[in-house]
Amino acid sequence: MPMNRVQFQPGLSMREFLSLYGTDEQCEAALIVRRWPRGFECPRCGVWLARTSFERQGRRYWQCAGCQYQCSVLSGTIFESSKLPLTSWFLAMQLLTQSKTNVSALELKRHLGVCYRTAWLVKHKILEGMRLAEADRQLTGRVEIDDAYLGGERSGGKSGRGSENKVPFVAAVQTTEDGLPHLASLSGILCAGHSMTNRSMYAYQQEDDEGGHGRGGDDAVDPEGTH
Ligand SMILES: [Zn+2]
């Protein structure tokens, strides 16, 4: 079988990840470089100058020279007010982004050593952050578009694309010039008999929970019942 270059593309190994982000200090330093690459910028007034900086409970804080606002690099991020150490957040991001298949909240719970509710919240906060970061992106260049379906056949229903249990999507993939996939976008289609509703998503997840899709999903239950 010929080697699939997409399957074999390099990623960040766990060994490399742990050497880069194995301590809270490394994670904090990485966030500072990412958020303020040109130095501190006040998230409240936008001034690029800190009057002073200091440490409190092992975390570095800055005081804005303009409005005197005090903040850490975590202020205004999904990590703010979380009791979970940064190393656990980074490990969750590594696991969620390096896996080719879905990483369930239950699996995340086992990896992080936290309760299910915490793992579920961590996973969904990270996914929501990724969604917001990509919300305004438009695919450009070479784009391939096709229809796709989510869901599986149930007994008594129609098979194939006519199944009442399947939800149609338009899948668009931006590729490199030589056809390798680079970015993908999925859009649900609303039409008679086929709509992406909470009920259809729930049914899909329930089946996932039972291993029906052959994936690692077991996130069917929202611990708060709010999703
Ligand atoms: Zn300020």
One pLDDT digit (tens) per residue for the chain, 227 residues: 667 766 677 788 999 999 999 999 999 999 999 999 999 999 999 999 999 999 998 899 999 999 999 999 999 999 998 999 999 999 999 999 988 788 999 999 999 999 999 999 999 999 999 989 888 888 999 999 988 777 655 555 666 666 666 777 788 999 998 888 888 888 876 554 444 455 555 555 554 444 444 444 445 444 444 33
| Ligand 1 mean position, distance from CA 72 (Å) | 13
| Ligand 1 mean position, distance from CA 60 (Å) | 16
Which residues keep their CB under 5 angstroms from ion ligand 1? 42, 44-45, 47, 64, 66-67, 69
| Ligand 1 mean position, distance from CA 167 (Å) | 48
| Ligand 1 mean position, distance from CA 44 (Å) | 5
pTM above 0.75, yes or no: no
| Ligand 1 mean position, distance from CA 65 (Å) | 6
State the Cα–Cα distance between residues 45 and 51, nearest whole angstrom: 13
| Ligand 1 mean position, distance from CA 41 (Å) | 8
Q: Which residue has the tokens 């975590």?
A: 74
